[in-house]
A and B are shown apart, each in its own frame.
Chain A
């Protein structure tokens, strides 16, 4: 039988170290809603989401109460809108109506975010994909909870550089459309290489076309738990350190597995995957940077940070895989800047630069995340940063992403405040040398040689 010390350990993790289930994300396929009439499509989408997800928030709350663990977010991901809206939408404005329908459905069901205003264009772009991408600035400016993502490359297909160029402009336009709110639209827009179909985390969640009609994916988190656990192995060798990370990740994932199973049973929706990601929040102690400091680095960004992140990411995966039969999504360690107080401190102290963050994304689970850059950054420069990040994903056969926020009207040294989970961020300097000649070439970068495994 469980003993009092085990109970106290679990409850300390929850109460003192911010252990939580970060999200229960309900994936909903919209393929059955496809219609050539826009009005009818919107109606079907709204009805489908509000019917399937009507019990999502109450279920999350009931689980929270019964197990005594916070379920911070309840979210929905849907089939990429560029697919669902392909036969009905003839203009970007038509697509904006879908975004507004998704927003309305999110509000009606009480979820925090709805993801899937997306296009999958890693090799080529259909007319519908392009219309959706061009609608993103207006869609994100006129909605509150809709998240958008564009997958523009993969190890198998190479990089779609036409879309890389386009996304530089779209990110810039999205910032401009929401300039009155510190360009917050860009916090809900992410570009991917090798995007997973079952990611429960925003802004990049969408319900992939490889998925069933409905699915429950759960994201667990706990950087604070990890940091606390590492206190007990201070100064020990790497073998001991790695073992500790692995065991802690195992414990956290098991809780996620339990919650996922419960949610799946109660909602009668199949369980998909657990995404074990150390996802920081602005709360004190809930920080990846603090883990680096506990490992022995003065600040995140100091020499050794990439190695520290590599071992953290790998051991988290190893512990997680042992704890759940179905681990998926992004699983690893996120390194957002604005959402992590320790990372913000590191940037403000001059320890962490955009270039070091890029190096770190070679070994983290996602990529350049929630990074505020000067509002006057040229679209081609944004495309250049995206291209670099996507190339890392393509060559290393991993997911990479870029969520950059050119804050209109602000420059290096100023701070931008997003509030809530999105936190605040110092505007970081960007390399000023021009890359437009490279970006303007257009076309595709071919898939790397090691992708030919057939």
Chain B
């Protein structure tokens, strides 16, 4: 398993989750956890996904998610989970 955190930040609009999930499914990326909240009026979503069998390399995967974000006026980032684990877990 190779865990990656996908975050979506932006103005809430119809179909954001659907579009991201469709992209993930099309690329064999399994969603392990999903949560969302509103901070300062902005939509914040976080998904923990498994990219072990993802059909794209990490750079392409992260770049394409960024592009999808651009189309929906939000920022989508993919980051390896290790950075969050390192910072917040002993």
Contacts and interface: CB of A to CB of B under 8 A. Distances in A.
- Do A and B come from the same complex? yes
A10 B83 contact: yes
Given A11-B7, A65-B58, A255-B87, A4 B81 contact: no
A67 B83 contact: yes
Contacts of B62: 65-66
B37 A11 contact: no
A396 B12 CA distance: 57
Contacts of A62: 59
Interface string A57-74: 000001001111100000
A258 B86 contact: yes
A66 B58 contact: yes
A10 B59 contact: no
Contact of B88 (A2, A65, A67, A69): A2
Contact of A8 (B39, B48, B59): B39
Given A1-B48, A2-B48, A4-B36, A10 B80 contact: no
Contacts of B36: 4
B4 to A, nearest CB: 9
A69 B86 CA distance: 13
Interface residues of A, number: 22
Contacts of A148: none
Given A11-B7, A65-B58, A4 B35 contact: yes
Given A10-B87, A65-B62, A3 B35 contact: yes
A170 to B, nearest CB: 43
B59 A65 contact: yes
A9 B85 CA distance: 12
A3 B5 CA distance: 10
A150 B88 CA distance: 40
A66 B59 CA distance: 7
Contacts of B45: 4
Interface string B38-59: 0100001110100000000011
A2 B85 contact: yes
Interface in A239-264: 251, 254-255, 257-258
26 contacts: A1-B33, A2-B5, A2-B84, A2-B85, A2-B88, A3-B35, A4-B35, A4-B36, A4-B46, A7-B5, A7-B7, A8-B46, A10-B84, A10-B87, A65-B58, A65-B59, A66-B58, A66-B80, A67-B83, A68-B78, A68-B83, A69-B83, A251-B87, A254-B87, A255-B86, A258-B83
Interface of A: 1-11, 62, 65-69, 251, 254-255, 257-258
